[in-house]
């Protein structure tokens, strides 16, 4: 479970100061699904970075299962990311020189284990997103939707507690968007993940049971009983 | 994963990798060529020095320079103006450089710490002047009936009036060098730089025998051969062998036993030079210091001292190799290292999102840095292999062409007391023997040069990797993910 208390992230450039996040309090239950929306520059990605332990707030605390991520050393934070948090990015962020299977393996490298075991798990993860036949393909040989599915397999192969997605359909056309969202929702349900997603897409936002809207660093939560 | 990722990245960025590797290769190839040419120069210099010293000699000991101005030992020739035109001849046997040491010095030197062996030798110059005086004819002015007046060398008379015409002196001056060698220790000294090509060398028992070994080119000039005799200042020596210098001029025209040389020069128990072999070639300087400290009035000249007197194209080329070549290699290497570092750093900048993603996935900074350093190291090794190949090819070309270099030794007066060549007489006491040699330059590549090249390649890779690795280690995953290419 995530518990954010008084999280503020302040950026200073020259004499001007901007609060990307301003005194945010937020709780996200295990297995919950939260969609974050808001205007560009409103602080969506900053909030996601705080949740993912990619950045530290200027003030406040970010607790994951009772552990304050802001107090952890860089090495321990890296370990938390490696074990518990899966990321899916808007631009897929696959390593262009590695095959689909090798890209998925990169998420298992920090956890150690034998290479053969890594390869087997990577192949299984790709199979679960419908890319069992494309293990040896490079990202450049796949469509955008397929690349994002490789990225989803990479995020989930280590069986994390949390899946963070930063506009995962932002670079996809409508058909691919639906394809990717279907995969993500299936995975969320099957794996019992805590799924937090940033999106600009209102159609996707409407399907979420809980919506966080960020404006000028302030978060407003809307519950969607119909979802 | 490490090697797969590394291999794929190098393949993806093969142009940049080739630029980095080529830069390093150029620097490394230059180092190999300059080192091998320098080594060739050094060998050429050693060859030049060996032709004077003989093989195995590490230093020579001679008498320290005397105060200038003393001319009592200058050669003097006295000829009588006899009343006829008969030929006259006079030999002058002079100690080369006019400075001698006592034979006991040889023993003293031999007992010094670090001296493996010491042997004395006496270098002589023989100046043979032969010819005749011719009388001039006196012719009286305007008086045909006047009787001829003859006088040696011309010269006027008071009565009657007239002048002496014709007459004068015609003398041929012939100079050659003789080296008195210690026949009991023939493995040290100038004769070791020659091979006996006809006959034999001295026997150890011939310490005072009237036998000689003659240099091949002098033998040819004077039509001397094994079995014939050669006369030096009235003493006839039987030629037992003909020697040929390994390179360039021989150290002397004639070699005779030391005692014979001492007798000829009236220099009993005297030597001009002590040839010294050090027990350890790394200790030459300390042996030199010990001799100079413990045996007063001596000058010790090492190979290094003598090398300073080498001039000519060999010296010029050697200077070029050690100065311009060395600095050029260093400059190219530094430039190559910098370019490799900057290109690696630049490559990391282009891969910010990639490394940021890996960090987000839980890769530690150290793992990302290792990946960058690994790629740079392989790049450096590729440059090393390429550089070694180009360097070996360059060294091979130099050896194949074998440019001829001329070395001139001595003449500067700084070398001091060298035995040898025929030209050393008459000058200052410490004037080194003047010698000119043509040496074919080679460029031998030693294992140590190759190891240095490999070390440079690794260093280049590590330096480049350090640039990139430092940049990669400082990346924050959040910054990386904000960046969209």
Q: Please give the span between the terminal C-alpha atoms of chain B, in angstroms, as a whole number.
A: 25
Q: What is the pLDDT of residue B147?
A: 46
Distance of alpha carbon B364 from alpha carbon B359, whole angstroms: 6
- Closest to A110 (Cα-Cα) out of B370, B374, B461, B348: B370
| A45 touching chain B per CB within 8 A | yes
| A111 touching chain B per CB within 8 A | yes
Q: Residue B333: pLDDT band by 50, 70, 90 thresholds? A: confident
Q: What is the pLDDT of residue B414?
A: 35
Record: contact B367-A89, CB cut-off 8 A: no
Q: What is the pLDDT of residue B143?
A: 53
- Closest to B477 (Cα-Cα) out of A129, A54, A180: A54
Nearest by CB to residue A110, choosing from B8, B9, B361, is B361
- B-chain residue closest to A94, CA distance: B354
In chain B, residues 361-390 whose CB comes closer than 8 Å to chain A = 361-365, 367
**Average of pLDDT values for B402-425?**
49
CATH architecture of A2-223: 3-Layer(aba) Sandwich (3.40)
Residues of B in contact with A83 (CB under 8 A): 362
Distance of alpha carbon A197 from alpha carbon B240, whole angstroms: 106
Average pLDDT of chain B, as a whole number? 78
Structure-token match 């006829």, residue found: B84
What is the full per-residue pLDDT of chain A (227 aa) written as tens digits?
A: 899 999 999 988 888 888 889 999 999 999 899 999 988 878 888 899 999 999 999 999 999 999 999 999 999 999 999 999 999 988 889 999 999 999 999 999 999 889 999 999 999 999 988 899 999 999 999 998 899 999 999 999 999 999 999 988 887 788 888 888 888 888 888 888 899 999 888 888 888 889 999 988 899 998 876 66
Mutation test of the interface with chain A: which of B11, B352, B481, B485, choosing the one with the most A Cβ atoms within 10 A? B481
Angle between helical axes of B352-360 and B326-350 (0-180°, round to 10): 60
Asked casually if ipTM beats, i.e. exceeds, 0.85, the reply is: yes
Alpha helices (H) along B274-416: 284-294, 303-307, 313-320, 326-350, 352-360, 365-401
Give the three-state DSSP class for B299: strand
Distance of alpha carbon B407 from alpha carbon B259, whole angstroms: 33
Record: contact B1-A110, CB cut-off 8 A: no
Order across the sheet with B162-165: list the strands. Answer: B150-151, B136-140, B162-165
For the record, the structure tokens of A15 come out as 């004499």
Q: Within a 10 A sphere around the Cβ of A89, how many other Cβ atoms?
A: 23
In chain B, residues 452-481 whose CB comes closer than 8 Å to chain A = 476-478, 481
Nearest by CB to residue B354, choosing from A75, A95, A107, is A95
Alpha helices (H) along B54-122: 103-110
Give the three-state DSSP class for B71: coil
Q: What is the pLDDT of residue A39?
A: 87
| B74 touching chain A per CB within 8 A | no
In chain B, residues 344-363 whose CB comes closer than 8 Å to chain A = 353-354, 357-363
- Closest to B179 (Cα-Cα) out of B116, B73, B258: B258
Distance of alpha carbon A199 from alpha carbon A214, whole angstroms: 12
Model confidence over B422-434: pLDDT tens digits?
333 233 333 344 5
Distance of alpha carbon A217 from alpha carbon B465, whole angstroms: 40
Q: Residue B419: pLDDT band by 50, 70, 90 thresholds? A: very low
The residue with greater pLDDT, A218 or B311, is A218
Q: Residue B321: pLDDT band by 50, 70, 90 thresholds? A: low
Distance of alpha carbon B71 from alpha carbon B88, whole angstroms: 25
Q: What is the pLDDT of residue B417?
A: 36
Record: contact A111-B363, CB cut-off 8 A: no
Model confidence over B232-290: pLDDT tens digits?
888 899 999 999 887 666 778 899 999 999 998 888 888 988 988 888 877 888 888 88
A6 membership: H or E segment, kind and range? strand A2-13
Model confidence over B426-458: pLDDT tens digits?
333 333 445 566 777 788 888 888 888 888 888
- A-chain residue closest to B2, CA distance: A109
What does the CA dihedral A105, A108, A114, A119 come to, rounded to 10 degrees? -30
For the record, the structure tokens of B70 come out as 């003393």
If you count DSSP H runs as helices and E runs as strands, how many of each does chain B have, helices first? Answer: 13, 18
Q: What is the pLDDT of residue B155?
A: 45
**Residue B153 above 50 pLDDT?**
no
**Residue B110 above 80 pLDDT?**
yes
**Residue B13 above 90 pLDDT?**
no
Mutation test of the interface with chain B: which of A45, A106, A114, A165, choosing the one with the most B Cβ atoms within 10 A? A106
Residues of B in contact with A118 (CB under 8 A): 1
Model confidence over B79-106: pLDDT tens digits?
666 556 666 777 788 887 767 888 888 8
Distance of alpha carbon B86 from alpha carbon A3, whole angstroms: 131
- B-chain residue closest to A55, CA distance: B478
d(CA B459, nearest CA chain A) in Å: 27
- Closest to B301 (Cα-Cα) out of B103, B155, B433: B433
d(CA B384, nearest CA chain A) in Å: 25
| B236 touching chain A per CB within 8 A | no
Record: contact B361-A95, CB cut-off 8 A: no
Model confidence over B52-78: pLDDT tens digits?
666 677 888 888 766 554 444 555 666
Residues of B in contact with A70 (CB under 8 A): none
Nearest by CB to residue A81, choosing from B362, B367, B482, is B362
Which residues lie across from B406 on neighbouring strands? B438
For the record, the structure tokens of B223 come out as 């039509």
- B-chain residue closest to A114, CA distance: B1
d(CA A8, nearest CA chain B) in Å: 16
| A95 touching chain B per CB within 8 A | yes
| B210 touching chain A per CB within 8 A | no
Nearest by CB to residue B4, choosing from A79, A83, A102, is A102
For the record, the structure tokens of A160 come out as 């994390």
Contacts of A135 (CB under 8 A, 6+ apart): A99, A100, A101, A122, A123, A126
- Cis, peptide link before residue B314, omega less than 30° from 0: no
- Closest to A77 (Cα-Cα) out of B356, B481, B361: B361
| A58 touching chain B per CB within 8 A | no
Structure-token match 């979420």, residue found: A208
Q: What is the pLDDT of residue B265?
A: 86
Phi, psi of B302 (to 5 degrees): -95, 170
* The dihedral sign for the CA sequence B338, B343, B344, B348: positive
The residue with greater pLDDT, A81 or B35, is A81
Q: Do B475 and B431 contact (CB within 8 A), yes or no?
A: no
Cα separation values, B55 from A8, A29, B67, Å: 84, 91, 32
Q: What is the pLDDT of residue A116?
A: 94
Q: What is the pLDDT of residue B70?
A: 47
- A-chain residue closest to B367, CA distance: A110
Q: What is the pLDDT of residue B75?
A: 59
The residue with greater pLDDT, B358 or B352, is B358
Residues of A in contact with B484 (CB under 8 A): 91
**Average of pLDDT values for B194-217?**
90
Q: What is the pLDDT of residue A76?
A: 93
Distance of alpha carbon A9 from alpha carbon A23, whole angstroms: 8
């Amino acid at each position: 479970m995530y518990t954010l208390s008084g999280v503020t992230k302040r950026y200073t450039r020259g004499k001007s100061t901007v609060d990307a996040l301003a005194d945010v309090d937020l709780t996200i239950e295990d297995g919950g699904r939260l969609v974050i929306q808001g205007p560009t520059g409103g602080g969506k990605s900053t909030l996601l970075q705080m949740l993912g332990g990619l950045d530290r707030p200027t003030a406040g605390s970010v607790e994951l299962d009772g552990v304050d991520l802001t107090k952890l050393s860089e090495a321990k934070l890296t370990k938390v990311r490696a074990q518990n948090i899966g990321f899916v990015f808007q631009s897929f962020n696959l390593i262009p020189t590695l095959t689909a299977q090798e890209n998925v393996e990169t998420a298992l490298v920090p956890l150690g284990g034998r290479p053969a075991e890594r390869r087997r798990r990577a192949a299984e993860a790709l199979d679960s997103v419908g890319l069992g036949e494309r293990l040896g393909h490079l990202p450049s040989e796949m469509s955008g939707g397929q690349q994002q599915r490789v990225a989803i397999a990479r995020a989930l192969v280590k069986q994390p507690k949390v899946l963070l997605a930063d506009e995962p359909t932002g670079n996809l056309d409508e058909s691919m968007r639906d394809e990717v969202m279907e995969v993500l929702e299936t995975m969320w349900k099957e794996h019992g993940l805590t799924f937090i997603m940033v999106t600009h897409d209102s159609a996707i936002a409407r399907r979420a049971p809980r919506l966080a809207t960020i404006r000028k660093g302030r978060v407003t939560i809307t519950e969607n009983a119909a979802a | 994963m490490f090697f797969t990722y590394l291999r794929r990245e190098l393949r993806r960025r093969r142009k940049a990798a080739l630029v980095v590797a080529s830069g390093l290769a150029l620097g490394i190839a230059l180092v190999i060529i300059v080192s091998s040419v320098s080594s060739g120069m050094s060998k050429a210099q050693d060859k030049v020095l060996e032709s004077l010293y003989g093989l195995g000699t590490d230093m020579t000991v001679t008498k320290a320079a005397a105060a200038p101005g003393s001319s009592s030992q200058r050669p003097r020739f006295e000829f009588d103006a006899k009343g006829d035109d008969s030929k006259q001849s006079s030999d002058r046997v002079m100690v080369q450089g006019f400075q001698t040491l006592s034979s006991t010095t040889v023993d003293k030197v031999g007992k010094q710490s670090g001296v493996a062996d010491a042997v004395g030798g006496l270098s002589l110059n023989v100046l043979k002047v032969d010819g005749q005086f011719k009388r001039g004819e006196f012719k009286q002015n305007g008086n045909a009936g006047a009787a001829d007046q003859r006088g040696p060398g011309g010269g006027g008379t008071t009565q009657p009036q007239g002048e002496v015409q014709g007459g004068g002196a015609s003398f041929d001056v012939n100079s050659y060098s003789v080296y008195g060698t210690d026949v009991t220790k023939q493995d040290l000294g100038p004769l070791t730089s020659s091979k006996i090509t006809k006959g034999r060398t001295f026997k150890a028992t011939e310490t005072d025998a009237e036998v000689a070994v003659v240099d091949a080119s002098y033998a040819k000039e004077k039509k001397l051969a094994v079995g014939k005799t050669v006369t030096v200042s009235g003493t006839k020596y039987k030629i037992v062998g003909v020697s040929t210098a390994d390179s360039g001029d021989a150290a002397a025209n004639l070699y005779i036993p030391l005692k014979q040389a001492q007798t000829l020069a009236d220099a009993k128990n005297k030597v001009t030079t002590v040839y010294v072999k050090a027990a350890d070639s790394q200790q030459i300087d300390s042996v030199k210091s010990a001799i100079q400290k413990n045996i007063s009035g001596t000058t010790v000249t090492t190979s290094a001292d003598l090398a300073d007197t080498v001039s000519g194209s060999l010296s010029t080329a050697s200077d070029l190799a050690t100065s311009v070549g060395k600095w050029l290699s260093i400059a190219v290497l530094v430039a190559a290292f910098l370019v490799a570092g900057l290109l690696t750093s630049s490559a990391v900048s282009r891969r910010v999102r990639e490394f940021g993603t890996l960090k987000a996935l839980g890769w530690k900074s150290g793992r990302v840095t290792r990946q960058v350093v690994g790629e740079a190291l392989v790049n450096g090794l590729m440059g090393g292999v390429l550089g070694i190949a180009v360097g070996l090819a360059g060294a091979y070309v130099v050896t194949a062409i074998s440019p001829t270099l001329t070395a001139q030794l001595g003449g500067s007066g700084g070398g001091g007391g060298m035995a040898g060549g025929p030209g050393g007489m008459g000058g200052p006491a410490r004037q080194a023997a003047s010698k000119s040699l043509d040496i074919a330059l080679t460029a031998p590549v030693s294992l140590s040069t190759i190891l240095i090249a490999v070390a440079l390649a690794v260093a280049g890779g590590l330096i480049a990797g350090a640039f990139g690795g430092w940049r990669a280690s400082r990346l924050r995953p959040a910054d990386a993910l904000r960046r969209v290419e």
